Structure 1
Amino acid sequence: MPILSRKPVRFRTAAAVVATAAVTLALGLAGPASAADVNNAKNAGFESGLSSWTCSASSGTTVSAPVHGGSAALRATPAGQDNARCSQTVAVKPNSTYTLSAWVQGGYAYLGATGTGTTDVSTWTPDSASWKQLSTTFTTGASTTSVTVYTHGWYGQPAYLVDDVSVYGPDGGGGSGPAPTVPGAPGGLSVSGTTSSSVSLAWNAVSGATGYNVYRAGTKVTAVTGTSATVTGLAASTSYSFQVTAVNSAGESGKSGAVAGTTTATPGGGGGALPKHAVTGYWQNFNNGATVQKLSAVQSQYDIIAVAFADATTTPGAVTFSLDSAGLGGYTVDQFKADIRAKQAAGKKVVVSVGGQNGTVSVSDTASAANFANSVYALMQTYGFDGVDIDLENGLNPTYMSQALRSLAAKAGGSLVLTMAPQTIDMQSTSNGYFQTALNVKDILTVVNMQYYNSGSMLGCDGKVYSQGSVDFLTALACIQLEGGLAPSQVGLGLPASPSGAGSGYVPPSVVNNALDCLTKGSSCGSFKPSRTYPDLRGAMTWSTNWDAAAGNAWSGAVGPHVHGLP
């Protein structure tokens, strides 16, 4: 989590993602291509070295491995104040739509276009161990005849690789690449989870596809860019038939084989009897200098208590939990279980948190997704936990983590409490894996309590950069989630309970309360004021109940009543 325990604090400066900011909250797909469409990028596969490309500070070179296609790829290395920007000017036609894409690997990688004459665009991805396609679209202005397309990395991050860049659309006069062909139909379509009102699907990626359409009983119901989707708004205890197609700028494939999914009879929607506005606190199952607490001593203001942490096992995806009885002064497992029951009898929810700063749980395929769901459900049965908190700070796979959470929900039923605690960098864009996961499981998600600390400056929803430690930092970053697809009731503000609880980012409880008022009422704002209010905002979270106790319960004593008194 936050600040984990067992090792020194690691500071993430993703100052980041500030970049081009351009981190758009959603990507569109171009319409069907015409017969004249070509790839307008020159030397798109870097087979001719850096011909047609210019890289800042001599940061770019070509390599023969790894490559996505052909025999060469671009390798660009950020250094000092240079972000390794490589660009070329591409001839285009006015009033035309183009699909910009590239395959990237390695460190943080950005892809974008400027000088479009309309809205400039960009997209990005965190570091990737394998080739990943970035894609976005832009429309040229009435007099635009050229645009600049670019890639770049980020300061202090490793080198990134780029290959097979394409700018598909009408020939601007310099194009040479062939237009894409219609992709093949997806294979491997399967049901990855169900609730009383939704069916989750997953399928295999199709080469050359930039997106996928999902059909229910022959009618298109949603379009996605990844290889998973959740179809919502379904009736309970009902069987539905689904198919998927692959699309790109050349057109749409035939439909995949059909698969049937049957919704459950149990009403869905996590959260149970939680209050409209809730306070979450992490309870430390270890002693790192904060007050050592039994669960029974956790302050009454906390509505959700996240037990930190479950640990990885040698089985991929599986987790376990072991009470640190010795470190907690002889706290026994029986006492712990009894305290969980007592908190629940008082109307509280107790969940087990997976991850933390040092957590290494990996859910990266169907088998590990099943192992995760089975092991978490076993912990729920053993200890009486109400659900799970996802606090993985070393990346996650949205396809398979979504699959795992769907499977867990199918086992636990509608009373499952599902919370998340991503870092700020994880929620800067809906293209990020954490944000994708939250949206994938939105119908069973209780709350996302983003960590507003140990992050450095970040981008707000208004395109401006804000420094942590201010009311603007909290409100402008929360706005990204609130406008990016999460319901206000699924958004919470995560802050340290004291300066000792985190390496940076602590703010007094009064600043937390001001941010809550700004978002819910439009009052007590800083320089940033959201365009609308969110009276259903869920509330706030802190790391941790133990650090709160060490500071005389100042955080929960001030923030707790304020949260519970929101409209």
Structure 2
Amino acid sequence: MATYPWEDDMLDNATPNANRLVIYYNSNLIPLSSFASSDYTHVILSFARPDPSGTMVLDGNLTSTVMAQIPALKSAGKKVMMAIGGGACSSAQWQQMAGNVQFSAAQIAAMVQTYGLDGIDIDFEDSAAFTGSAGYDGTQFMINLTQALYGALPASARLISHAPQAPYFFPTWSSAYIRIMEAVGTQIDFLNLQYYNNPGFQEPSFILGTSAGSVAGMIAAGIPATKIVIGKPVGQNDAGSGWMPVSDIVGQIVTPLVSTYRYIGGVMGWQAASDPTGSWGATLAAALSPTAAVA
């Protein structure tokens, strides 16, 4: 088993921040409260985006009925977060936020307090901003937004995650997320890696390989294994590519990673409506061993 500088400290702690089981909730087809009895540790509500005035607004699926069920999850010990952005967030909307980061952070922090959330997930997918083609610097924006959120969020609700795509660790995309983690990695609790919708960057051979966006590649860049959450589609129709049967996710990805590192950041699923019985989550919870408390 490999050992790393952070592992000794982590293993001395009875509740290491590892082995999370994360699910994105972006459809109200299933009651949010049903996940209170599931194996998921983190439920991320999706999505919130800025309106033309810059005010953060919820997607239509996050109705008042859905939001009223947040306390049920928290009472069950779940961490409930809000995802900002997503694939439907336009470059113009991101640029609007980048132009007034402090205002955006204040808006997001107010939303966290209004709904009693535990933190924020940043799902930035304006790829052109990492290649100099969007009219603003996406890497610096992610650094600035993370810093602003860390300052604006109350200490009790300061969980911050990002959901990068694997290519964002490569030089073609300015090694953006390596630079982001170098700058503000101490303020980012974990990364929900989107190992889907990117053929060539989503297969088990890639994830277990040594290139920049692989687990080993990220660790080599100084990112702790306990911050790396492996993201996969739950249902076969939840992404354009990258889906695998859950048994294959366990056998070909999770088990080898746990064998090598013992603790990893965990596993993320997109999306909740495809796991109505919680069986996908239960299978992965059993594979993430040894079990550990999470943050």
- Pick the TM interval, shorter chain: 0.7 to 0.9
| Counterpart code for 2:264 | L
Separation (CA, whole Å) in 2 of partners of 1:432 and 1:359 = 22
Name the structure where helix makes up a greater proportion of residues: 2
What TM-score does the superposition give when structure 2 sets the normalisation length?
Answer: 0.79
Name the counterpart of 1:305.
Answer: 43
1:412-455 deviation digits (Å, cap 9, x = unpaired):
24341111111121123594333322332211211111111111
Counterpart secondary structure, 1:492? strand
Retained in 1: the 8 A contact 2:263–2:290? no
1:566 Cα deviation after fit = 5.2
Retained in 1: the 8 A contact 2:262–2:290? no
Retained in 2: the 8 A contact 1:363–1:369? no
Q: Does 1:537 align with 2:264?
A: yes
1:13-53 deviation digits (Å, cap 9, x = unpaired):
xxxxxxxxxxxxxxxxxxxxxxxxxxxxxxxxxxxxxxxxx
Name the counterpart of 1:377.
Answer: 109
Any residues of structure 2 matched to 1:10-89 within 5 Å, and which?
Answer: none
Q: Does 1:472 align with 2:205?
A: yes
Separation (CA, whole Å) in 2 of partners of 1:431 and 1:366 = 18
| Residues 274 and 364 (structure 1), Cα distance of their counterparts in 2 relative to 1, 3 Å cut | farther
Counterpart secondary structure, 2:100? helix
Any residues of structure 2 matched to 1:126-137 within 5 Å, and which?
Answer: none
Name the counterpart of 2:145.
Answer: 404
| Counterpart code for 2:205 | D
Name the structure where strand makes up a greater proportion of residues: 1
| Residues 505 and 307 (structure 1), Cα distance of their counterparts in 2 relative to 1, 3 Å cut | same
1:564 Cα deviation after fit = 5.1
Q: 1:352 aligns with which of 82, 88, 91?
A: 82
| Residues 439 and 305 (structure 1), Cα distance of their counterparts in 2 relative to 1, 3 Å cut | farther
What TM-score does the superposition give when structure 1 sets the normalisation length?
Answer: 0.43
Q: Does 1:558 align with 2:291?
A: no
1:198-257 deviation digits (Å, cap 9, x = unpaired):
xxxxxxxxxxxxxxxxxxxxxxxxxxxxxxxxxxxxxxxxxxxxxxxxxxxxxxxxxxxx
1:127-170 deviation digits (Å, cap 9, x = unpaired):
xxxxxxxxxxxxxxxxxxxxxxxxxxxxxxxxxxxxxxxxxxxx
Name the counterpart of 1:423.
Answer: 165
Separation (CA, whole Å) in 1 of partners of 2:103 and 2:264 = 33
| Residues 500 and 381 (structure 1), Cα distance of their counterparts in 2 relative to 1, 3 Å cut | same
| Residues 384 and 322 (structure 1), Cα distance of their counterparts in 2 relative to 1, 3 Å cut | farther
Higher relative contact order, structure no. (Cα contacts within 8 Å, ≥ 6 residues apart): 2
Retained in 2: the 8 A contact 1:311–1:354? yes
Counterpart secondary structure, 1:311? strand
| Counterpart code for 1:536 | Y
Retained in 2: the 8 A contact 1:337–1:384? no
Separation (CA, whole Å) in 2 of partners of 1:509 and 1:566 = 19
Any residues of structure 2 matched to 1:115-264 within 5 Å, and which?
Answer: none
Separation (CA, whole Å) in 1 of partners of 2:16 and 2:34 = 20
Counterpart secondary structure, 1:449? strand
Retained in 2: the 8 A contact 1:308–1:353? yes
1:484 Cα deviation after fit = 1.4
Counterpart secondary structure, 1:403? helix
| Counterpart code for 1:352 | M
Counterpart secondary structure, 1:499? coil
5+ residue gaps in structure 2? 1-14, 130-137
Name the counterpart of 1:280.
Answer: 22
Q: 1:386 aligns with which of 95, 118, 128?
A: 118
Name the counterpart of 2:257.
Answer: 519
1:506 Cα deviation after fit = 0.8
| Counterpart code for 2:285 | G
Q: Say how many residue pairs are matched.
A: 259
Retained in 2: the 8 A contact 1:353–1:390? yes
| Residues 363 and 418 (structure 1), Cα distance of their counterparts in 2 relative to 1, 3 Å cut | farther
1:363 Cα deviation after fit = 4.7
Separation (CA, whole Å) in 2 of partners of 1:343 and 1:536 = 25
| Residues 446 and 505 (structure 1), Cα distance of their counterparts in 2 relative to 1, 3 Å cut | same
Larger Rg: 1
1:388 Cα deviation after fit = 0.9
5+ residue gaps in structure 1? 1-272, 287-291, 326-331, 459-467, 522-532
Separation (CA, whole Å) in 1 of partners of 2:216 and 2:206 = 10
1:82-126 deviation digits (Å, cap 9, x = unpaired):
xxxxxxxxxxxxxxxxxxxxxxxxxxxxxxxxxxxxxxxxxxxxx
1:493 Cα deviation after fit = 0.4
Separation (CA, whole Å) in 2 of partners of 1:419 and 1:520 = 21
Counterpart secondary structure, 2:267? strand
Any residues of structure 2 matched to 1:267-346 within 5 Å, and which?
Answer: 276-285=18-27, 292-298=29-35, 300-315=38-53, 318-324=55-61, 333=64, 335-346=65-76
Counterpart secondary structure, 1:441? helix
| Residues 480 and 363 (structure 1), Cα distance of their counterparts in 2 relative to 1, 3 Å cut | farther
Separation (CA, whole Å) in 2 of partners of 1:443 and 1:411 = 16
